[in-house]
Amino acid sequence: MRRSLSRRLVIGATGLLCVIAATILLSSADVADRAGLVAVAIDNELGSGQVSEEVRVFLDGRYVGVLTVNQKSPTARLTATVTGAGRHGYRLLTRRVVKGRGVKVIRSHGDVVIDGRRDLFIVADEKGRTYLDR
């Protein structure tokens, strides 16, 4: 009897902690919406002839994460939060390995407009420069 009571208490306490954690997570998302924060997804995929690519992403001067693609995982997605819709500065530090050409490190920066469409893509132009695009 005593063991079953303690077991029920442990299960009840665990359930209560889960409810509290869910409430905190949901309320923090609500606060982010009211504060004007905007979540944006940044996607990358392995390009033609690439063996791998690693892109460190900075938005508005703040490091938000790294996207790593290779032949085993040819796509990657990173979700970041910015302070509202509008024009935001970005900086990318890319380390790319291209078959037959070796390693190339590329630093790029610019501005990107984030609005209702919240997906951004890592793009490389014909000269191999990397930038963010919608």
Q: pLDDT value at position 41? A: 93
CATH number assigned to the domain covering 38-133: 2.60.40
The position carrying tokens 């409810």 is 19
Count of other CB atoms within 10 angstroms of residue 71: 9
For range 108-122, the mean pLDDT: 84
What are the residue ranges spanned by the domains of the chain? 1-35, 38-133
pLDDT band at 37 (very low <50, low <70, confident <90, very high): confident
Count of other CB atoms within 10 angstroms of residue 32: 13
Q: pLDDT value at position 64? A: 95
Q: Spell out the residues 6+ positions from residue 23 whose beta carbon is closer than 8 angstroms to its own.
A: none
Higher pLDDT among residues 23 and 106, named by residue: 106
Q: Kindly report the length of the chain.
A: 134
Contact 101, 53 (CB under 8 A): no
